[in-house]
């Protein structure tokens, strides 16, 4: 892929005393044949300000930039919901520059299958460094995929650099041992009810609270102006208690830690949107009517609204992307989401009215 400053068009930045224009090399080649996706965006917080001037001093009104795609980092991008979000952003390059944060090579390969890149290999980076040391031109390929751990803020920082928004899709995932599954099946065969015992490889406290807090801190430090957190229904005080089955699973108290992270985000000073999905379905999106609510009211009222307590992951991903598109409608808001069964109601196609009805 070609390396170039990220922009769709040459953009005129209006300064206090004069107008500085980007050179023609800043023209996006996204509309030209043979051009890579890596050259699509120009960060609103680019470090390429004139010597002695910060970007803020050298240009004002950056929010007035037209047709500059929003650079978005998706964490947990190889998870089932995170991947759905990343893929949808990736498929809309005119509006978004998608970057994914994953913790393993296996996760990175998932993103590579749809065209994302880890950037230059170490050998190419070394070669380019030598060329630059000799005064020769050498372009580096910016990565779309970042490997790291949300417990390590140092690995998060490079991924968040220059991003406009952060989408948090990381979450503790309970697992079931094969022996537990066998015991549950056996109990059912002999007419006994038995709740299988789950476990976490990493407890929700470390992922849903501490890891989430790290992500919020890094985004704030990097100057990100919107954080979308995919959380869960059941975090309201009325539902988030010791009797909630989600808190009992693996003794993880997952909703307790998710609620703590939400409170931290709300107090961070960064514009945020929190999405609380119901049960997540591995079904196709765009085929159901989406129903929104607040404060876990849908957990009790979903039937009266003709809805279910579940929603496809792909529809959650669409809600995330639409929240990024319509930030002004969902800033500093949290909402719950479920869907009607296929064939019940009309598939949701317009999201602005859905968001407007929340306020």
Active site residues: 232
Bridge pairing between strands 310-312 and 279-281: parallel
Residue 27: which region, alpha, beta or left (left: phi > 0; alpha: psi -120 to 50)?
beta
For the chain, the first-to-last Cα distance in angstroms comes to 44
Q: SS in 3 state form for the chain?
A: CCCCCCCCCCCEEECCCCEEECCHHHCCCCCCCCCCHHHCCCCCCCCCCCCCCCHHHHCECHHHCCCCCEEEEEECCCCHHHHHHHHHHHCCCCCEEEEEEECCHHHHHHHHCCCCCCCCCHHHHHHHHHHHHCCCCCCCCCCCEEECCCCCHHHHHHHHCCCCEEEECCCCCCEECHHHHHHHHHHHHCCCCCCCCEECCCCHHHHHHHHHHHHHHHHHHHCCCEEEEECCCCCCCCCCCCCCHHHHHHHCCHHHHHHHHHHHHHCCCCCEEEEEECEEECCCCCCCCEEEECCCCHHHHCHHHCCCCEEEHHHHHHHHHHHHHCHHHHCCEEEEEEECCCCCCCCCCCCHHHHHCCC
Q: How far apart are CA 122 and CA 149, in angstroms?
A: 20
Q: How far apart are CA 301 and CA 278, in angstroms?
A: 13
């Amino acid at each position: 892929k070609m390396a170039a400053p990220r922009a769709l068009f040459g953009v005129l930045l209006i300064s206090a005393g004069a107008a500085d224009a980007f050179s023609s090399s800043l023209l996006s080649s996204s509309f030209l044949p043979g051009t890579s996706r890596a050259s699509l965006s120009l960060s609103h917080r680019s470090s390429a300000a004139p010597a002695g001037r910060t970007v803020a001093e050298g240009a004002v009104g950056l929010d007035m930039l037209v047709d500059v795609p929003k650079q978005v980092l998706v964490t947990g991008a190889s998870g089932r919901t995170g991947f759905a979000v990343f893929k949808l952003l990736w498929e809309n390059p005119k509006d978004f520059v998608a970057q994914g944060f994953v913790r393993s090579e296996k996760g990175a390969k998932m993103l590579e299958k749809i065209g994302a890149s880890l950037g230059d290999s170490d050998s190419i980076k070394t070669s380019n460094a030598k060329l630059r040391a000799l005064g020769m031109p050498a372009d580096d390929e910016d990565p779309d995929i970042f490997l790291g751990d949300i417990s390590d803020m140092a690995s998060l920082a490079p991924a968040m650099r220059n991003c406009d928004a952060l989408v948090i899709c990381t979450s503790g995932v309970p697992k079931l041992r094969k022996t537990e599954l066998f015991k549950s099946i056996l109990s059912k065969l002999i007419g006994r009810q038995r709740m299988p015992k789950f476990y976490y490889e990493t407890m929700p406290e470390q992922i849903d609270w501490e890891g989430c807090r790290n992500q919020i801190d890094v985004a704030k430090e990097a100057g990100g102006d919107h954080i979308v957190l995919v959380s869960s229904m059941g975090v309201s005080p009325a539902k988030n208690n010791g009797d909630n089955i989600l808190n009992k699973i693996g003794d993880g108290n997952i909703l307790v830690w998710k609620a703590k992270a939400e409170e931290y985000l709300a107090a961070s000073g960064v514009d945020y949107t929190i999405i609380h999905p119901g049960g997540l379905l591995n079904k196709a999106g765009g085929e159901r009517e989406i129903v929104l609510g607040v404060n876990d009211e849908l957990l009790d009222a979903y039937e009266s609204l003709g809805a279910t307590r579940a929603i496809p992951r792909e529809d959650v991903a669409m809600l995330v992307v639409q929240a990024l598109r319509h930030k002004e409608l969902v800033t500093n808001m949290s909402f719950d989401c479920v869907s009607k069964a296929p064939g019940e109601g009309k598939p949701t196609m317009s999201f602005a009215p859905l968001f407007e009805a929340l306020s």
